[in-house]
Amino acid sequence: MKNRIIISLLLICSVITVQAQKGWKQYRGPERSAQVEGQLSTNAEGKIVPELVWKKELGPGFSEINIDGNTVFTQYGEFLDSITGLEYLVALNAQSGKEVWKTIIDSIYIEKDKWGDGPRSTPAIDGNTIYCLSGLGNLAALDKGNGKIKWTVDLPEKYGSTMPRWGFSSSPIIIDDMLILEVGGTENRAVVAFNKANGEQIWTKGSGPSGYNSPLYTTIDGQKQLIFAIGGVLQSFTPAGDTLWKARIPIGNLIAMPIQLSEKRFYLSNAGRGYLVADLEDGTLKEVKKGMTMKNDFMTSVLYDGHIYGYHIAALKCLDPETGETKWQKRGFGKGSLMMVGDKLVILSDKGKLAIANATPEAYQEIGSVQAMDRSRAWTSPSYDQGRIYVRNLKEIACYKLK
């Protein structure tokens, strides 16, 4: 009888764990690491064949695709004429791609350098609410079921936030009863915690302009911490808004998120000055290793089994961050993106090729691929849930089954 009870409890825990892993409800997935547990099965030839489930035209934007149950969400832009347009949050049926609802969030952000118009930030889902940020800086909370707006905050108007050159891009994080976001406000309001129910301000902290980085949420010495890269400084806050430490980033401003190699060791990288492995000691980053063998531009890498997989500008690489050794390099993906399912890399080229590869430092080992979309710029990382990959570019969105 005792053994049966133990087995039942284990099964219940297993079910709870699996359920907690379902969905893609925030930037870079469940743990903001672009990694999910799971096992992608190969066929008799050891391959994985991506099979199209549906594809749909969609306007420009770089927001990731959120997945919650039978619905997927993302943001996009639509032009009304050559110089004006709107940004939307849209809900689609996950099985068919059919539109469930769409809601206007703001006027469209138009990118002057012609890299791509529309929203940049990725929404966050919590309960029955989905939160999103427009390219022009309008923060909004909507009913997940019908798209009705619950509340909005205009960041430039309320906080004096200056729009970054390439639009507001930071993605919100939900912690307890708060939505926390880098807003780049004046008067010690670089980071703001909002009441997620009504949008009222709870606390503000930090200084520095709004950028393109999203926060890392982690635990160091038993303390939960929100780590923001604001300008050339890492700034750490408790969820209650207390400042824990500030550390200058020796390699300058970051777009790609910091990666935590161990409790107090971080990997940082940018396109201009390479990468840095540093230990956090008394609020200072102490260099462990520095090099030019990995220059992350805007796409954050993933860490797996002690190795960094990511883009050295426009070349996919596997890097040993402790030694700086390039284990392998693969060209042909351009400035692409990637995420991981179990021990498999899911790679999207900037021209819409979707590839699956083994995550191993031995060599690049591709085990399946498909031209998933047209060759319009694909700079948005794939999202994954229950055996399906969701991808988008500046013209369309698509869902593929991996089998």
287-337 tens-digit pLDDT: 999 999 999 999 999 999 999 999 999 999 999 999 999 999 999 999 999
Cβ contact 142:134 at 8 Å: no
Q: Which residues of the chain have pLDDT under 70?
A: 1-21
In this prediction, residue 13 carries a pLDDT of 40
> How far apart are alpha carbons 100 and 230 in whole angstroms?
37
Distance CA 308, CA 321 (A): 7
Write down the pLDDT at residue 12.
39
Is residue 306 helix, strand or coil?
coil
Say how far apart CA 367 and CA 350 lie, in whole Å.
19
Distances (CA, A) of 148 to 76, 101, 142, 151, 182: 17, 9, 5, 9, 25
Gap between the Cα atoms of 388 and 257, Å rounded: 25
Domain 216-297+300-325 has CATH 1.10.10.10: no
pTM over 0.85? The answer is yes
Q: What is the C-alpha to C-alpha distance for residues 20 and 17, in angstroms, rounded to an integer?
A: 5
Backbone angles phi, psi at 5, to 5 degrees: -60, -45
- Residue 145's contacts (CB-CB under 8 Å, 6 or more residues apart) are 128
Short-list 63, 117, 127, CA closest to 90: 63
- The whole-number pLDDT of residue 403 equals 74
Strands 50-57 and 344-348: unpaired
pLDDT, position 22: 83
pLDDT recorded at residue 21: 54
**Which residue shows structure tokens 């133990």?**
6
Gyration radius (Cα) of the chain, Å:
21
CB 161 within 8 A of CB 204: no
Residue-level pLDDT at 352? 97
The token pair that represents 344 in the structure block: 């498999």
| CA-wise closest residue to 335 among 98, 14, 33, 62 | 62
User: How would you list the strands of the sheet with 173-175, edge to edge?
Assistant: 173-175, 178-185, 189-195, 201-205
Q: Is the dihedral of CA 145, 150, 154, 159 positive or negative?
A: negative
CA distance 193 to 173: 10
Whole-number Å distance between alpha carbons of 393 and 256: 19
> What is residue 27's predicted lDDT score, i.e. its pLDDT?
98
Of the candidates 56, 63, 163, 171, the one whose C-alpha atom is nearest the C-alpha of residue 118 is 63
Residue 9: predicted pLDDT: 41
